[in-house]
Amino acid sequence: MKRLILIVCLFFYVATPSFAQQSINDYSFVIVPEKFDFLAEEDQFQLNSLTKFLFNKNGFNALYRNELPEVDFCDGLTAEITEESNFTRTKIFITLKDCRGNEIYKGEPGASKFKEYRKAYHDALRNAFEFINKLHVQQNDIVVKERAIDEIDSKKEAVVSSATLSKPIVPSNTFNQYSLSDVAYLLKKTAEGFTLFQESELAENGLLVIGDITKKGNSYSCKIADKEYPVSFKSNKDLVIYKEDSNMVLKFQN
């Protein structure tokens, strides 16, 4: 009898991760709130932007609610990010719920010992996503419902890649000039994305490599010193790199 109970327990222990993976893959998108309940402002510390970036990096189609097209709401999940802090560490929890409020996924907390809020939240969130990374999620394309103007009752479904729903405005030139605090930067278009350079007299050719910018899902990231940071291109083509301690806002000069 004890052996039978042990076998049953082992079965559920092994089966649980794959069940979570299968359940998440059954949904086509995840909604990221523009403001978390434990923070006072929208995208404070750029934590919402980082959350969206990390979901996209890990195989999700992550969108803010205002980016959501006309879809069946029950095709997607809603992300809830909660926080627990004490004197020694900050913990971040990631929960995914369906349209009825049922809990589909709740991962182990990501923890950080940093004292400064921005660093602590970013570090803890990245650590929490390590558990999601192990699920190897790959969501399907989002199904958008289109309603014909003259045919109110008729509905046609079209499959649209999430990349077309929130396409960033990126520079089209091979070389693009930027500036930050009177320092000149050069963004070079490559086959993989972009390479960011800083003008420096210390470099042999006058250009110091800062990092490579690549596209993952429908988001961009910049790898600087073996660490990836979310990147966004603004409507005026300004380039923003969301670092843990502060943002790099590079002004487009072309």
CB of 168 closer than 8 Å to CB of 233: yes
Q: Which domain holds residue 203?
A: 175-252
The DSSP string of 181-217 is TTEEEEEEE-SSEEEEEEE-TTSTTSEEEEEEEEEET
Give the DSSP H or E segment for 13: helix 2-25
Residue 16 lies in a domain: no
Domain count within the chain: 2
Residue 168 lies in a domain: no
For the chain, what is the mean pLDDT? Answer: 82
**Residue of 23, 1, 234 lying closest to 137 (CA atoms):** 23
Residue 104 lies in a domain: yes
Residue 122 lies in a domain: yes
Tell which of 119, 143, 167 closes a domain.
143
d(CA 216, CA 32): 17
**Residue 117's CATH number:** 3.30.160
**Dihedral, 99, 100, 102, 103 alpha carbons, nearest 10:** 30
- 37-41, 75-79, 118-122, 170-174: which has the minimum mean pLDDT? 170-174
Query: Residue 155: what pLDDT?
Result: 44
Q: Does one domain contain both 85 and 182?
A: no
Q: Does one domain contain both 188 and 132?
A: no
Q: Does one domain contain both 123 and 45?
A: yes
Residue 10 lies in a domain: no
pLDDT in tens, 62-105: 999 888 888 888 999 999 999 999 989 999 999 999 999 999 99
Query: Does residue 187 surpass a pLDDT of 50?
Result: yes
Residue 216 lies in a domain: yes
Tell which of 95, 124, 143 closes a domain.
143
pLDDT in tens, 162-185: 444 445 577 888 899 999 998 999
CB neighbours (10 Å) of residue 24?
21
By three-state DSSP, how is residue 1 classified?
Answer: coil
Model-level pTM? Answer: 0.65
Q: Does one domain contain both 181 and 133?
A: no
